[in-house]
Chains A and B, each alone.
Chain A
Amino acid sequence: MMTCSLAGLVRHFNNRISEAAAAWMMIGIAVLVVTNPAAADAHSFDLIGVAIVDDWLAPAFLTVGVVRLAALVANGSWPLYGPWMRAGGALLGALIWSQMCLSLVLLALPSPGIPIYAVLTGTELFSIYRALAGHNGRNQR
């Protein structure tokens, strides 16, 4: 059971804290776009805008973030689907961060966001492996 203390959070999330951080980033981006729609015009979202219209940007980020966070919080209670949900969320995260990185590379080259999104993409890809490695269908954390 997860307890809301620092030690409890460390115990629960263990080595999955990067996934939780990525989920909170997505939720934060959704909140930013909702509270300030002008944020959707940032260069980071230019290439994502090809696939997702601006009106659906915040709901898409919010959905992915909340689903990832739910999978992480309830992880262990869903031993069969939890790891696959985490892997799916990490894949979506990798696609999103890579497209944002590419947007900055192509449209706003000297941007400090480029290495950040690149590292996030790599971390998400590694999270896919971490979520599924050693998964035996039960007692998976």
Chain B
Amino acid sequence: MDAINDKAFAALGAYPIVQSAVAITILLGALYLVIRATRDKPTAPPPLPPHEPVPQWLMMGPLHDMMQSVHEVAEQSRRTNDLLREVKDVMSDAVRETQHARQTLELIRNESRMR
């Protein structure tokens, strides 16, 4: 078997036939790929899923900001209510003081008339 192989390889000399065959195969393969490449259209990026035009995670940031703003508005409203309640109490005290002062003045006036 080795002798046959030796004879076969010896017949090829410096392997010019095999060498040329491989080179021609590579060239033909390259030619085929060039033709395929020039025919094929440019590859487009993959489209988004049809039922989800905007990815869900994209909404998480704005939604979180909005919830934080709602909390801030509620806190401001609570503080405003507290201030209004304090203002109401002060006004009630002022009315009470005014009534007391009026009664005092009326008493003074009556006293002065009796004399």
Contacts and interface: CB of A to CB of B under 8 A. Distances in A.
A128 B43 contact: no
A50 B19 contact: yes
A73 interface: no
Given A128-B30, A134-B41, A134-B42, A98 B36 contact: no
B110 interface: no
A47 B18 CA distance: 10
A129 interface: yes
A132 B37 contact: yes
B30 A106 contact: no
Contacts of B22: 98-99, 102
A85 to B, nearest CB: 14
A98 B37 contact: no
Interface residues of B, number: 21
B105 interface: no
Interface stretch (B8-16, B75-83, B93-101): B8-16
Nearest to A107: B15
B36 A102 contact: no
B87 interface: no
A133 B37 contact: yes
A128 B34 contact: yes
B83 to A, nearest CB: 54
Interface residues on A, range: 20 to 34
A98 B24 CA distance: 11
B26 A128 contact: no
Given A94-B26, A129-B37, A106 B42 contact: no
A103 to B, nearest CB: 9
Contacts of A50: 14, 16, 19
Contacts of A39: none
A133 B42 CA distance: 7
A79 B36 CA distance: 20
Interface of B: 9, 14-16, 18-19, 22-23, 26-27, 29-30, 33-34, 36-38, 40-43
The 7 closest A-B pairs by CB, nearest first: A134-B42, A132-B37, A129-B33, A133-B37, A129-B37, A128-B33, A91-B30
Given A94-B30, A133-B36, 16 more contacts: A47-B19, A94-B29, A99-B23, A102-B22, A128-B34, A128-B37, A129-B34, A129-B37, A130-B37, A132-B34, A133-B40, A134-B40, A134-B41, A134-B42, A135-B38, A136-B42
